[in-house]
Structure 1
Amino acid sequence: MATTTVTDAGSVRIITEVIPATDPRAAQLASGSKAPARTSFQTQVFLRAHPKVLGTIHIFTGIIHICFGIILTVSEHRNPSLPVASGILFWLGILLLVSGSLLVESEKRDSSVLVKTCCVVNVGVVLGTLVATGIHGTAITRNIPGCENPGPFQIRPEWCLSVHSKMLTNVLDSILVILSLLEFCVAVAVLAFGYDTVRQHTYTQLAL
């Protein structure tokens, strides 16, 4: 049974009610006094970059790279072009899938370690996109493999007489260059927000 105490302090009257633990109102007050769950201050900065959206972009472009890699590898198995021979389409696509998966997961979990991992992987994405842009740009300026200037007694293969094949490969390489630039911008955004997050986390640890 609840007990009530009335105390007069000048012009103020204080009423104190003691509720026993068996009273149903005690459970309601206990549940209402709990502080709501919140995201750690360190990861709030990183969440402003919308890592789920950036991760979805990386996953989508990574799938495109791998699909193009399979198609071009099958079609150019006899005379592979520079992007196919280097394998850039496959290992950059896998790197993008890993980066995208980590970014999507970082929005679900409050972990500074996961943010640091995203930053490390995206450093690889930045370097990979720069290498990919150089390889695709070189492929655009080069002739089709096997169609270089022949010697005085050499005849060019039949596929070298088709201008459309070279135009098609140039279009594909141009699309991949544009995708690489998009991936580069996304990775730089991740690194910028990730750097601020890691710096604030380090400052908080030193302050404590």
Structure 2
Amino acid sequence: MTGSGSTAVPAPRRVTPRGLATRARIVDAAADLMYIRGVNATTLDDVRAASGTSKSQLYQHFADKDQLVRAVVSLRAEQILEREQGYLERLRSFRGLERWRDALVQRNALQNGAYGCMLGSMASELSDQDDEARKTLADTFAEWTGLIAAGLRRMQDTGSLSKTADPEKLAIGLMAALQGGYLLAETHHDIKPMETALDMALDHIRSSLTT
């Protein structure tokens, strides 16, 4: 019950299934464009054209480009973590790490290394522009790195990785090698630098194996 002179809070606008589908189409189109062209080079008009939506439809869901960019960051974070959980939550051997490496390299090879990591590419553009997006990206990288570290701890539990190894530091090093490899592959349009960076990081982990 509201008191005298109080202002009633309007009820949240109900979004219909059709509206949700339109919003998803806008975010998917924006995500594809921003991955290929970059965040700053992608305009709202580009997104409208790619998603087949009107200006009024777009602004019904997103007040400005910043809101749309944050939705894209959230989508990519969800997609990356879902994919990586599929590989890393089962990780308990060095061979599992090699299979993870192979899957990443093969996926990036399909585009000759172009465009880089979906998260890393956005991080390079947004980290100094949008603190909310930067935090989402940082949290996602931390969770991704944590999945690797958890797998390395399982390797310690099974006795294949030395108890003196530091899973958290090894995971950070492996993530840094992965992101640096993505960047070099993107620059050269050649997957070789990514392979080399990951292999050197894995060689460092191999040196801590017990068998």
Query: So what's the TM-score if we normalise by structure 2?
Result: 0.30
Q: Give the structure with the higher percent strand.
A: 1
Bigger radius of gyration = 1
Query: So what's the TM-score if we normalise by structure 1?
Result: 0.31
